[in-house]
Structure 1
Amino acid sequence: MHWTSLPFSREASQELSSLSLLAVLGAMGYWDVPDGTDCVQKTWITTKVATTIAAMGAIFGMTTCLTAQVRDAPDEPVNYFVGGCASGIFLGARTHSITTGASACLGLGVLAFFGKVAKLENWRLIGPPKL
């Protein structure tokens, strides 16, 4: 799902992505290494984060598409829930944590589900009100 398909402004979407990325980098130890030192370690951490996020995006896209084809229901929000859940399960497997996988499955699935519902129903979450 590209940011333009969500009912958010570009700036709000980028801010949310930046905050999420900073939290993930902190959890992986990026901030434990002082700036200007051990650049190889910092590069390795950011590469692992980027690879994981890219894999989650690919899993989401493929699962959503295949679910829509199998169910013969291309515009159903349930397809997005399944795609988000599959991405969450991958994250749990990557972190070796069933708790992370289960909560990410539920969280990403619900977020993707309502993202699709918002797009179908033209919800506006951010921006000036329509008069």
Structure 2
Amino acid sequence: MGYNYYDTPDGQDCFKKLWFTTKIAGVTGLAISAVDVKIHSHTQGFYPTAARFVHFTFPFIGIAAAFTATTCMLTNLRHKDDKLNYFLGGCAAGSVFGAWRKSVVAGVVASAFFGVAAFVKKSSLEEGWELAPEPKLRTFGSVFSSRHDYTLTKPPPKLWKTQEE
């Protein structure tokens, strides 16, 4: 279908990975910006609305780019594909968050949070377990659902008699 971040090993196809992550971050930033403009800030006019979209979308793209570029660069510089690269990539993403919020405390907290989250993600990839497994899709109410009996109990016995008996 399309490219996925984990289609190639870390340290390879850095620009494809950068495009993949920034594309997702850009769409997420646009969605959050739309919610902010409509529900929270209630901006009036083109320029204030565009400024709110820029205020959210560009930092999201920067956070994703910082993580991706840092992990790819560290993998190539250290010649190791390990959890430290992901942790430091998360710290770089957190520092971009702190710069966006103009707060050192927010940057340190976000660096710790993103670093630990990236460390856990890399652990899950290396050890083969899923952090949040996808739920099994169960469909009810389809065209063919009348052919299946989804009741929990059996129906009571039919004790009535017809007139012909």
TM-score normalised by the chain length of structure 1: 0.68
Name the counterpart of 2:55. 48
Flag the structure with larger Rg.
2
1:31 and 1:94 mapped to 2: Cα distance?
19
Name the counterpart of 2:116. 110
Instruction: Please tell me whether the aligned partners of residues 30 and 45 of structure 1 are also in contact (alpha carbons under 8 angstroms).
Output: no
Aligned pair partner of 1:33 in 38, 42, 45: 42
Residue type matched to 1:123 in 2?
W
Name the counterpart of 1:87. 93
Task: Establish whether residue 123 from structure 1 lines up as the match of residue 129 from structure 2.
Answer: yes
Task: Establish whether residue 72 from structure 1 lines up as the match of residue 79 from structure 2.
Answer: yes
Which has the higher relative contact order, 1 or 2, with Cα contacts under 8 A spaced 6 or more apart?
1
* Identity %, equivalent residues: 24
Q: Would you tell me which structure has more helix in proportion to its own residues?
A: 1
2:94 and 2:68 mapped to 1: Cα distance?
13
Q: How many angstroms does 1:110 deviate by?
A: 0.7
Q: How many angstroms does 1:128 deviate by?
A: 4.8
Instruction: Please tell me whether the aligned partners of residues 88 and 101 of structure 1 are also in contact (alpha carbons under 8 angstroms).
Output: yes
**What is the root-mean-square deviation in Å for CA atoms of aligned residues?**
3.0
Query: Structure 1 stretches of 5 or more lacking a match?
Result: 6-13
Q: Give the length in aligned residue pairs.
A: 111
Per-residue CA deviations over 1:12-67 (Å, capped at 9, x if unaligned) read xx9xx96xx649x65x9961316xx4343223212221111111111111111121
2:54 and 2:5 mapped to 1: Cα distance?
25
TM-score normalised by the chain length of structure 2: 0.56
1:96 and 1:52 mapped to 2: Cα distance?
12
Query: Structure 2 stretches of 5 or more lacking a match?
Result: 7-23, 137-165
Aligned pair partner of 2:106 in 97, 100, 104: 100
Q: How does 1:8-27 map to 2 (within 5 A)?
A: 22=32, 26=36
Residue type matched to 2:70 in 1?
T
